[in-house]
A and B are shown apart, each in its own frame.
Chain A
């Protein structure tokens, strides 16, 4: 089954304790992206990756890091989490190029992060 998986689904942590949220897709998609969703602000793009070893900032990259060492994985790293990073996080992937591709985005189930 084609899917994007995220782990963990729920996480409560304390300020300053480094954490990683994993994202994996099994569709051989070139493009992967991270979003955060906050009430009243909608979904905002944090980072995206066009392919292995190619990453770039979205609209709200501060306080986050990413890496893309393999095509299927795109982890989100919070080196020193703060309470303002409490949010619902989504990972997504899509094809970047192809003759018949519709470039539809596929989303993971979300990770609810609370930083106290």
Chain B
């Protein structure tokens, strides 16, 4: 059974810092990996998707990497802003099932 872990569970940083969120998974037979953000009480906003054949994807200040062999993905946020405060979730997509991590709650302090 796929297990997905996100560390740290919570993170507080001053505005402007670069930061890295981690996602690790136990079964490397994945289709792709998707990163989401979720604001309190809200739905999921897709940030980046990395296909299993790719090693990284970039969108604006966000960069996500994938290392299937080691079962890890990282989400890099450059020059963090207060508006980045949210919970960040990674989801590992198999052909049939999807497994989410429990998320990293990020607070960016002005």
Contacts and interface: CB of A to CB of B under 8 A. Distances in A.
B43 A90 contact: yes
Prevailing SS type, chain A contact patch:
strand
Interface stretch (B66-74, B77-85, B94-102): B94-102
Contact of A42 (B34, B49, B101): B101
A109 B43 contact: yes
Interface size class of A (residues with CB under 8 A): 20 to 34
A92 B46 CA distance: 12
A53 to B, nearest CB: 16
Contacts, number: 56
B44 A90 contact: yes
B49 A102 contact: yes
Interface string B45-59: 010010100000000
Contacts of B99: 45, 59
A107 interface: yes
B89 A108 contact: no
B103 A42 contact: yes
B32 interface: yes
Contacts of B32: 102-104
A103 B31 contact: yes
Interface of A: 33, 35, 40-45, 48, 50, 56, 58-59, 90, 92, 94, 102-110
21 contacts: A42-B89, A42-B100, A42-B102, A43-B89, A43-B91, A48-B98, A50-B96, A56-B96, A58-B97, A90-B43, A92-B98, A102-B51, A103-B32, A103-B49, A103-B93, A105-B93, A106-B46, A107-B36, A107-B43, A107-B46, A110-B43
